[in-house]
Amino acid sequence: MSGETFTERFKRLTAGIPEPELLYILGVKDGALQKLIDGSTQSLKLEAGLRLADRLGVSPWLFTSSPERATLPVVSALVAETDAIEALQRQIDRLAKDVATLKGAGSRRTRAS
């Protein structure tokens, strides 16, 4: 990534995305995409950069003039991770409650026998 131009980085990161999908993600017409590919355009609009970064799972900083900042944590990834942790905690809490209920039912049977 060091010394890489915006155009080189854009081409490298979008190499596996079919052109129709790329046009849709960026919200541009074919001519605007061609300008990005040939280097005539050296930046993306904010929303387009965010959508593309989200699709690729990379930092939006890669599509700016400061790609070195891409090493900073990506907020959306942190939010997704937090959501996943919270969902797992809810599942653990439900399982713990189920286990406690089953233990209670087992001890009542033992006493009844």
Q: Tell me the pLDDT tens digit for each residue of 83-104.
A: 788 889 999 999 999 999 998 8
Class of the domain covering 6-70: mainly alpha
Tokens of 92: 């653990």
Q: Are 26 and 51 in contact (CB under 8 A)?
A: yes
The residue that leads in pLDDT, 65 or 24, is 24
DSSP designation for 73: P
Q: Give the residue-averaged pLDDT of 37-46.
A: 91
Confidence at residue 4, expressed as pLDDT on a 0 to 100 scale: 85
Q: What is the mean pLDDT of residues 65-85?
A: 70
Which sequence spans correspond to the domains of the chain? 6-70, 73-113
Judged by DSSP in three states, 2 sits in coil
Confidence of residue 113 (pLDDT cuts 50, 70, 90): low
